[in-house]
Each structure stands twice: as structure tokens, then as C-alpha cells.
Amino acid sequence: MEKQNVTIYDVAHQAGVSMATVSRVVNGNPNVRPKTREKVMKVIKELNYHPNVIARGLASKRTRYIGVLLPDITNPYYSSLALGIDDIANMYEYNIILANADPEHDAAGVESLIMKQVDGIIFIGNSISQEARQKISAAGRPCVFTDLIDPEATMPTINIDVEDAYYQVTKDFLANGKKRIALVGSDQGFKVSQSRQLQGYEKALTEAGHAVNEDLLIAAKSPSYDSGYALYETFTEIEADAAIATDDTIAIGLLNALLDNGVKVPEEVEIMASDNSSIVNMSRPELSSIAPPIYDIGAVAMRALTKLMENETLDTDLKLPYQIIKGGTTS
């Protein structure tokens, strides 16, 4: 319980300068004579002064907090993304504050973040509600999207070229003779929203002269292992011979459900996952997966946000390179 409250005033007093000068030193304002700066620095060290972030926030109207909305922090894909964001945020001396935002509660999440006076927002997920999107606009806060495209197309989106990835994967499946390729989403949204995933998938089918079969578009209740596992019945009914899952936890759930029921993977059914998150090698066989540069996506998103907050403009659609990792669930 040592001296808890060295203020800028104490430093100013002790150094024989004004608060304004101390403030300048602390904030790296160049308009300070080197000698003065040095003296102030010394006192800051001596007194172990740390600026009060709250007071600073009040006075400057900027908090250096940025809000990150994501569907589920226990999903390894999202938590890894958060890590990339956090690293860059620290680099720019921003702090991140996480908020869970499944599709039902994203508006509440946005609102709570805005009330916390965050300087900017990173929105991660498959979809955003109109209401949530409006609140972001209304608050006039910069925002960067990841995974999904900004429905208003005014804020940047960071991701791989999802459409291309799904196109490639679907094409490969077709080339390998697959006739019934299922697209397995993590919620119902991907069907209605004409997601990029669906577009890439459709493009490959169309090119090969096939139409999209609605039956083959199925969705888990949520992006989780159990929801994936629970898909077994549905999946069996549609008699698919291949599946592309939009989420790794769903992919592993489905894989294990198939294996547990004696279905051979990849011989009878091939599976492609989408995140290459930390769990893809926990199953046997290991999951094949589209491999987005997860950490980089987070990092680039955060970097983009810092630019936005400094009123720079950027491209609205940044596409990072991806790979396709061959595990044991595809041939």
C-alpha cells in the first residue's frame, strides 16, 4: 500500500515546472527544452509517477481502449484471433476489451462497448445484426470487420479471399469425383446471407455444370464441438460424400461422430475444415483445413483500426493469403 497517488501536480511541483510541461513530457510533445525534459523525467522516475489513465481519458476524450466483439472466446479460432489483435494493440498502446457477441446479442455488446467509451471496435463473426451495425455508425466510432463483410461497406474487412478458398476446395472435391459435397455452416445465417463461402462453393459447382442442392447446405446450432457432433443424423440423411465445414470445432465434432458410427474418413466421406486452428491436429486423422493466417488477420485488423482512428483511409477489403493444409480427412 505504498504511495498510491503521485499526480502530475506532484511531479510538476517537485521538478519546479508546471503541470502543462509535465504533460508535454509524458506525451512526447516536442515543445520542451531537452534540459527541462530530462529534469522532469528524472522526477518521474524518482516519484514512480504513472499517469492516471482515467483522468487522461476524461480530459482527452480518448481512452485508448478498443472493443473486440467475437462470438465465443472458447472457440480456438476466435481466441487466436484475439491474440493477434492484442499484440498489435499493445504495440500501439491500446488496450483491448473483449465482449461476447453471438448473433442474438451483438447489439447489446456493441452498446456496452460504446458506453465504455472505446475508441474503436473490431467486429468478428459471421454476421452482424442491423441494429448492431447502426449503433456503430451512430456512435461514430471507427470499426474493422473480420470474417464478415461490413454490410454498409464503409468500414474495412480483413480476411482471406474466402470465396476463392471455397471455390478451390469445392473444385478439388469435384475433381476427385465427389458428387454430393455438403456445406456445413456454424449457424443458419450463411444460407440466407449468400455468404462468400456459399458463393465460392456455388461458383465451382456452376462451372462444373451442377446446380446447388439446397439439401446439402446444413448448419450446426452453434460453432461448437457438440453441435458438430449432433449433426450426424442430418448428415447421414443427405448422403454426402464430402463436407466443407465453416468452423473447426464443428468439423471435429462431425468427424468424430462419423468415426464413432463406423463411417470411414476419408474413404467414404472427406472433410475439409476452415480455420486451421489449434485443434485441427487433435483428431485422428488430423483435419485437412483451409489455413488462414489467423494471427496475421488479427494483427492486420488491429493495425487497420489504428489507421482509421488516426483518420487515415484504407481499402475496404483487405485479403490476406491463405493455404490449404492437407491432413488425413481428405484424399
Residue 31: CB minimum distance to a copy of itself, A: 25
Which of 28, 30, 140, 262 contacts DNA by CB under 7 A?
30
Q: Which of residues 117-156 bind a copy of itself (CB under 8 A)?
A: 117, 137-140
Picking from 62, 66, 100, the residue whose alpha carbon sits closest to that of residue 85 is 66
d(CA 12, CA 51): 13
Single residue of 33, 115, 192, 311 touching a copy of itself by CB under 8 A: 115
Q: How far apart are CA 57 and CA 64, in angstroms?
A: 8
91 binds a copy of itself (CB under 8 A): no
Q: Which of residues 61-100 bind DNA (CB under 7 A)?
A: 61-62
Question: Whose CA is closest to 51, among 89, 88, 5, 92?
Answer: 5
Residue 74 lies near a copy of itself (rule: CB under 8 A): yes
Q: CA 111: distance to chain centroid?
A: 19
Q: Is residue 51 packed enough to be buried (19+ CB in 10 Å), middle (13-18) or exposed (0-12)? A: middle
- String marking each residue 264-303 x if it binds a copy of itself according to CB under 8 A: --------------xx-xxxx-------------------
Interaction between residue 73 and a copy of itself (CB under 8 A): yes
Assess 4 for contact with a copy of itself (CB under 8 A). Answer: yes
Instruction: Give the containing element (helix H, strand E) for 14.
Output: helix 8-15
User: 211 is in the binding site of which of a copy of itself, DNA, none (Cβ under 5 to 8 A by kind)?
Assistant: none
Residue selected from 46, 60, 239, 321 as contacting DNA according to rule CB under 7 A: 60
Enumerate residues 6+ apart whose C-beta is below 8 A from 162. 195, 196, 197, 200
Tell whether omega for the bond before 266 is within 30 degrees of 0, i.e. cis.
yes
Which residue number, 200 or 228, has a Cβ lying nearer to a copy of itself?
228
Give the pairing type, strands 288-291 and 323-325: antiparallel
CA dist 200 → 92, 163, 175 (Å) = 36, 4, 15
**Cα–Cα distance for residue pair 291/281, rounded to 1 Å:** 13
The one segment of 27-35, 152-160, 190-198, 254-262 that binds DNA by CB under 7 A: 27-35
Nearer to a copy of itself, 31 or 48 (CB): 48
Distance in Å, CB of 182 to DNA, minimum: 52
Q: Contacting DNA (CB under 7 A), which of 3, 35, 45, 264?
A: 35
Query: Which residues are CB-neighbours of 273 under 8 A, at least 6 positions away?
Result: 245, 247, 248, 251, 252, 280, 287, 288, 289, 290, 329
Closest approach, Cβ 114 to DNA, in A, equals 13
One of 224, 289, 306, 329 touching a copy of itself (CB under 8 A):
224
Beta carbons of 228 and 253 less than 8 angstroms apart: yes
Choose among DNA, a copy of itself, none what residue 282 binds, the Cβ cut-off being 5 to 8 Å by kind: a copy of itself
Helix axes 76-91, 294-309, angle to 10 degrees: 40
Interface with a copy of itself (CB under 8 A): 1-2, 4, 50, 52-55, 57-58, 63, 73-74, 76, 79-80, 82-83, 86, 95-98, 100, 112, 115-117, 137-140, 224-225, 252, 256, 259-260, 278-279, 281-284
Interface with DNA (CB under 7 A): 5, 7-9, 16-21, 23-24, 26-27, 30-37, 49-52, 55-56, 58-62
